[in-house]
Structure 1
Amino acid sequence: MTSVLLMALFAGLSTCLGAMLVLIWGRPGRRSFSLFSGLAAGVMLAVVLLDLIPASLRHGSATQGLLGFTAGILLMVALDLFLSSESPVGNWNYTYLKMGYLIAAGIALHDLPEGLAIAAGFVEPGHLGPLLALAIALHNIPEGMATAAPLAAGGLSPLVVLFLNGLVSLVTPLGCWLGLLLTHTSPLFLSPLLAMAAGAMAYIVKAKLLPECLRLHPPMAYLGLFGGIVLVFFLNLFF
């Protein structure tokens, strides 16, 4: 269990890496942000199609898989609706701080089902657990960038920005710990959890990652997307 939680912590701490990149070099350019977001989208999409859905069907029925997949999508939609609000008009520091806090809260809530997904992946024999941790780690880097930029613009010191991102990072291993408890309590939880992770990650790709990276720089976005899919394909092929 310790090694699994350490992998989940590694995935969560990628949020801090994204924040550090912004604090050191400033907000990334359109090309680099699109490439990295596209890479994260490609990895997550390939993991959903090649690993999560087949593993869910191996451990349960198609009905369980469909219900879990739908639950994952609905969970992410509910989180988005809960956190959506209009920012106040103006250029005051409060505007940036509020935006940063909202993004941080959203990422923290998103990280909980991601931790559950990592736990379910490690219960499944093979390489699914490390693949999920890699996919979520890649996804968390641009999220850390998105959190750090408005908080820094709002006047918070770099140490405080990193501290807040560190707190957000801890939600992933917390979700992983809860997932391990559920799957060890009853194997019946494994199939729905895998499918729920697939639904949540599919929503993140469709509603968040792809629209943003395609808006900024489509060629780099498609390059990253293709690279992420190929990476997971070869990992599946050789490992």
Structure 2
Amino acid sequence: MLLGLIAGLGTCLGALLVVAFGRLGPASISLMLGFASGIMTAVIIFDLLPSSLHYGSLAATLTGFAGGILLMAFLDLGLNILAPSLFRGRGYLKMGYLIAAGIALHDLPEGFAIAAGFAAAERLGPILVLAIGLHNIPEGMATAAPLRYGGMGAGRVLALNAIISLVTPLGTFVGLELVAASYTFIGLLLAFAAGAMTYIVLGELAPESRRSNKPLAYTGMLAGLILIMALSFIA
């Protein structure tokens, strides 16, 4: 639970960077988002999916993976449907609330991943905490920037991101309860988290990282992949 909270607080750190230093340059954003994409991809390929297959059946892995993707797809569709009415007349402020809602829902399966990761293997849990915490930093920045541009005070921006940070340990708690009820949930939860993270990487992080500076984005991705591979080798 504590590590789930630490991972969730990455969102607050991202918001704090926006409040303290203002908007980062496009090059820095590309590098950071690329780095987060690389870390998430490495965790999916080298940890989540292999562990899911180890602790569950192929059918459970495929079901969980598809379920994670579908959850994020339905969330994305719902936000796109709601967007016109939310944006009308309020600009950046409405955009910030919309992003905050999406990130809060994204963080729930990330908590599942942490719970399942610690239940599956000692080294997988800490790696997931690192990966999720790092990728929450740019998400916090994405939430805070439009809210600040929309006129929200620094205290309220940080408070909103603190609330969002609590969703990850909530997901960790729910995941731990499911794992305690039946050990067979581990493989399904790992695959579900892998599917959700895959949608986030392919649909959000990777495309956005390449928008401003492709070389730095790819450099960040490679660095993230190498970091997780090195941590896995050492562990």
TM range (shorter): over 0.9
Q: Does residue 1:33 correspond to 2:29, yes or no?
A: yes
Deviation at 1:79, TM superposition (A): 1.0
What is the CA–CA distance in structure 1 between the aligned matches of 2:124 and 2:23, rounded to whole Å? Answer: 32
Mapped contact 2:37–2:224 kept (Cα < 8 A): yes
What is the CA–CA distance in structure 1 between the aligned matches of 2:65 and 2:120, rounded to whole Å? Answer: 17
Please list the CA deviations of residues 142-193 of structure 1 after superposition, one character each: whole Å capped at 9, or x if unmatched: 0100110111111111011000000000000000000000001001111110
User: Percent identity over the alignment?
Assistant: 56
1:27 partner letter: R
Deviation at 1:126, TM superposition (A): 2.7
* Displacement over 3 Å in runs of 4+: none
- Secondary structure of the equivalent of 2:9? helix
- Secondary structure of the equivalent of 1:187? coil
Provide the residue aligned with 1:48 in structure 2. Answer: 44
What is the CA–CA distance in structure 2 between the aligned matches of 1:126 and 1:235, rounded to whole Å? Answer: 13
Provide the residue aligned with 1:221 in structure 2. Answer: 217
Mapped contact 2:209–2:217 kept (Cα < 8 A): yes
1:106-121 equivalences under 5 Å are 106-121=102-117
Over aligned residues, Cα RMSD in angstroms? 1.0
User: Structure 2: 5+ residue runs without aligned partners?
Assistant: none
Q: Does residue 1:129 correspond to 2:119, yes or no?
A: no
Provide the residue aligned with 2:226 in structure 1. Answer: 230
Please list the CA deviations of residues 71-128 of structure 1 after superposition, one character each: whole Å capped at 9, or x if unmatched: 0100111111112223646xx6x22111111111111111111111111001012311
Q: Does residue 1:147 correspond to 2:139, yes or no?
A: no
Mapped contact 2:55–2:120 kept (Cα < 8 A): no
1:225 partner letter: M
1:183 pairs, out of 179, 186, 204, with 179
1:83 pairs, out of 79, 83, 87, with 79
What is the CA–CA distance in structure 2 between the aligned matches of 1:182 and 1:152, rounded to whole Å? Answer: 38
2:197 pairs, out of 197, 201, 207, with 201
Provide the residue aligned with 2:11 in structure 1. Answer: 15
2:172 partner letter: C
What is the CA–CA distance in structure 2 between the aligned matches of 1:190 and 1:238, rounded to whole Å? Answer: 24
2:7 partner letter: A
What is the CA–CA distance in structure 1 between the aligned matches of 2:107 and 2:87, rounded to whole Å? Answer: 27
What is the CA–CA distance in structure 2 between the aligned matches of 1:182 and 1:60, rounded to whole Å? Answer: 15
Normalising by structure 2, report the TM-score: 0.96
1:9 partner letter: L
Please list the CA deviations of residues 40-82 of structure 1 after superposition, one character each: whole Å capped at 9, or x if unmatched: 0000000000000010000111111111100010011111111
Provide the residue aligned with 1:161 in structure 2. Answer: 157
What is the CA–CA distance in structure 2 between the aligned matches of 1:99 and 1:88, rounded to whole Å? Answer: 6
What is the CA–CA distance in structure 1 between the aligned matches of 2:5 and 2:57, rounded to whole Å? Answer: 31
What is the CA–CA distance in structure 2 between the aligned matches of 1:208 and 1:225, rounded to whole Å? Answer: 14
2:214 partner letter: P
User: Structure 1: 5+ residue runs without aligned partners?
Assistant: none
* Count of matched residue pairs: 232
1:17 partner letter: L
User: Greater CA deviation, 105-114 or 78-87?
Assistant: 78-87
What is the CA–CA distance in structure 1 between the aligned matches of 2:172 and 2:40, rounded to whole Å? Answer: 18
User: Greater CA deviation, 6-15 or 80-89?
Assistant: 80-89
Normalising by structure 1, report the TM-score: 0.95
What is the CA–CA distance in structure 2 between the aligned matches of 1:24 and 1:129, rounded to whole Å? Answer: 31
